Amino acid sequence: MERSRYTAANRLAWNEAAPIHRRQRFARLLADFRRPGYSCLDAVETAKLREIGLAGKAVAQLCCNNGRELLSIKNLGAGRCVGFDISDDFIAQARELAAAGGIACEFVRTDVYDIPPDYHGAFDLVYITIGALCWMPDLAPFFHLVARLLKPHGWLFIYEVHPVLYMFEPSERDDPPRAQNSYFRTEPWVDEAGLDYYGMTTYKSLPMYSFPHKLSDIITACLENGLALKSFTEYDHDITNLWAHFADFRIKPPLCYTLVARAGA
Q: What are phi and psi of 226, to 5 degrees?
A: 75, 20
Mean per-residue pLDDT for 47-57?
Answer: 97
pLDDT in tens, 57-111: 999 999 999 999 999 999 999 999 999 999 999 999 999 999 999 999 999 999 9
Task: Tell me if 59 sits within 8 A of 124, measured CB to CB.
Answer: yes
> In this model, does residue 198 exceed pLDDT 80?
no
Using CA atoms in the order 158, 81, 262, 255, what is the torsion angle rounded to 10 degrees? -10
Q: Determine the CATH number of domain 3-263.
A: 3.40.50.150
Share of the chain above pLDDT 90, in %: 87
Mean per-residue pLDDT for 186-209?
Answer: 80
Distance CA 132, CA 122 (A): 21
State the distance between the two ends of the chain, measured CA to CA, in whole angstroms.
Answer: 37
- CA-to-CA dists, residue 37 to 75, 101, 166, 229, 256, angstroms: 5, 9, 35, 31, 26
Share of the chain above pLDDT 70, in %: 97
Other residues' Cβ atoms within 10 Å of the Cβ of residue 150: 27
DSSP string across 137-157: S-HHHHHHHHHHHEEEEEEEE
Looking at the DSSP bridge assignments, the partners of residue 150 are: 123
pLDDT in tens, 128-155: 999 899 999 999 999 999 999 999 999 9
Mean per-residue pLDDT for 25-32?
Answer: 95
* pLDDT band per the 50, 70, 90 thresholds, residue 264: very high
pLDDT of residue 168: 96
Domain ranges (residues) in the chain:
3-263
> In this model, does residue 203 exceed pLDDT 80?
no
113: Cβ–Cβ under 8 A, 6 or more apart, which residues?
A: 3, 7, 141, 142, 145
Q: Is 108 helix (H, G, I), strand (E, B) or coil?
A: strand
* pLDDT band per the 50, 70, 90 thresholds, residue 199: low
pLDDT of residue 2: 86
* pLDDT band per the 50, 70, 90 thresholds, residue 197: low
pLDDT of residue 194: 66
> In this model, does residue 202 exceed pLDDT 90?
no
pTM: 0.96
Distance CA 231, CA 21 (A): 33
Looking at the DSSP bridge assignments, the partners of residue 126 are: 60, 156
> In this model, does residue 174 exceed pLDDT 80?
yes
Average model confidence (pLDDT) across the chain: 95
Q: Which of 106, 94, 102 is nearest to 36 (CA)?
A: 102
